[in-house]
């Protein structure tokens, strides 16, 4: 009986302790550009990661989730790079008013990788306040070029890896994050439920931790039950379209 009680207490401390350590730095803001205040909708909550999906269209880098949603006025520079650069200048070189608080800018390439990335490199030449900031991680996801071409891109850029891939040591140093599609770990049981492969999820997360990389899932549900599941399994970044609601949920755990 005492052994079972000890096990229960240890599990409680483990889960509760993990929950208490989560804060807004664990929030990954997804589809932020669809909000009334792109960038600031997430930035004002001091999130740890903001995602921007980009298309290379007629030489311009435009922010949109799908090609059908492209709007020529919604440029990457206008929606994200300029506001972030302005905030860093206001904060005297810091991302946020709190000194040394970090941010990931995850840029998802929706069009062909190399051409879009070359245009992105050219764009960043106008923003040394971003590329020279030690607390800003610029991570490239989506149509990432082959690892053999990573060395041709500036060192301030890193890449979004996958847990199922095997990387050479020289490429591991350029991986800033490991991500995967949550639905790969799910199977439909019947019309109303799915079965989650917990062991495979643990394996993917443990691999990233062994490599000392942060881990995130995409294509998860965006509700409290899912957020709690991700916390319990120590996923580093929790993706959401509802930053304020997730921030409130994390606060409630303290």
Tally the domains of the chain: 1
Q: Is 17 a domain residue?
A: no
105: domain CATH number?
A: 3.20.20.190
* DSSP codes, 58-87: TTEEEE-SSGGG--TT-BHIIIIIHHHHHH
Task: Answer yes or no: is 151 within a domain.
Answer: yes
Given pLDDT bands bounded at 50, 70 and 90, which one contains residue 116?
very high
E strands present in 58-163: 60-63, 103-109, 136-142, 157-161
Q: Is residue 53 part of a domain?
A: yes
Q: Is residue 13 part of a domain?
A: no
Confidence label for 33 from pLDDT (cuts 50, 70 and 90):
confident
Residue for token digits 């790969």? 184
| 65 assigned to some structural domain | yes
Residue 91: count other Cβ atoms within 10 Å of its Cβ: 14
Q: Is the pLDDT of residue 65 over 80?
A: yes
Assigned domain for 9 exists: no
pTM of the complete model:
0.91
Question: At 107, phi and psi to the nearest 5?
Answer: -110, 115
Any domain includes 1: no
Q: Which domain holds residue 86?
A: 23-252
Mean pLDDT, the chain, rounded, equals: 92
> 219: how many CB neighbours lie within 10 A of its CB?
11
CB 14 within 8 A of CB 226: no
Residue 15 counted as domain residue: no
Share of the chain above pLDDT 90, in %: 85
Q: Is residue 13's pLDDT more than 90?
A: no
- The per-residue pLDDT for 32 is 83
Indicate the range of 16-20, 54-58, 171-175, 195-199 predicted with least confidence: 16-20
């Amino acid at each position: 009986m005492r052994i079972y009680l000890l096990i229960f207490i240890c599990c409680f401390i483990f889960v509760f302790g993990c929950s208490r350590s989560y804060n807004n730095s664990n929030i990954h803001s997804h589809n932020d550009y669809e909000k009334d205040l792109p960038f600031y909708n997430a930035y004002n909550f001091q999130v740890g990661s903001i995602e921007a999906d980009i298309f290379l269209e007629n030489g311009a880098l435009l922010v949109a989730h799908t090609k059908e949603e492209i709007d020529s006025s919604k440029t990457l520079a206008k929606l994200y790079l300029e506001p972030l650069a302005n905030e860093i200048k206001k904060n005297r070189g810091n991302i946020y008013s709190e000194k040394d608080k970090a941010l990931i800018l995850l840029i998802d390439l929706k069009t062909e990788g190399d051409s879009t990335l070359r245009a992105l490199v050219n764009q960043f030449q106008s923003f040394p306040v971003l590329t020279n900031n030690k607390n800003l991680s610029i991570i490239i996801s989506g149509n990432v070029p082959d690892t053999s071409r990573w060395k041709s891109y500036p060192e301030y850029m890193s890449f979004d890896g996958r847990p199922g891939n095997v990387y050479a040591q020289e490429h591991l140093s350029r991986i800033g994050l490991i991500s995967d599609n949550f639905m790969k770990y799910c199977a439909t049981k019947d019309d109303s439920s799915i079965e989650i492969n917990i062991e495979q999820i643990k394996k993917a997360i443990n691999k990233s931790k062994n490599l000392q990389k942060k881990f995130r899932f995409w294509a998860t549900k965006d509700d409290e039950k899912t957020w709690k599941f991700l916390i319990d399994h120590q996923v580093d970044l929790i993706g959401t379209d509802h930053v304020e609601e997730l921030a409130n949920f994390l606060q409630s755990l303290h």
